Amino acid sequence: QLQLVESGGGLVQPGGSLRLSCAASGFTLDRYVVGWFRQAPEKGREGVSCISSSDGSTYYADSVKGRFTISRDNAKNTVYLQMNSLKPEDTAVYYCAIGPPFTTVQALCVIPPSGSWGQGTQVTVSS
């Protein structure tokens, strides 16, 4: 069964940090552009950060630049999102997804893929 499983969310105070993990099973993640997306209550899903499959290029939404870092560990078949200096407006359910063949990091993040999504992981930033 092909699936992506997100984990690492939780409740954190403003200014705190979390590291999210996106683990793949049933397929090899390193062949794909992978993205992190989030959806806050009553808002649409938005691309947060994406990472390429080959040259290590990345894309970040303006709202997270300088605070979030995306990385991948192909040996563990996992992509991470390190989130620092968290703000209340980062509160959302975070999801990961792979892009179609030949996509780019910007294309994947700007236009989130359609289709089914996993359960995601809840991130709540609150004092």
Encoding tokens for residue 67? 């605070």
Res 39 pLDDT > 80: yes
Position 114 scores a pLDDT of: 85
Please answer whether residues 41 and 56 qualify as being in contact, where contact means their C-beta atoms are separated by less than 8 angstroms: no
pLDDT tens digits for range 71-117: 999 999 999 999 999 999 999 999 999 998 889 999 999 998 887 88
Which pLDDT belongs to residue 55? 85
Q: How would you classify the pairing of strands 46-51 and 34-39?
A: antiparallel
Give the pLDDT band of residue 5 (cuts 50, 70, 90). Answer: very high
Mean predicted lDDT score pLDDT of the chain = 94
CB 51 within 8 A of CB 40: no
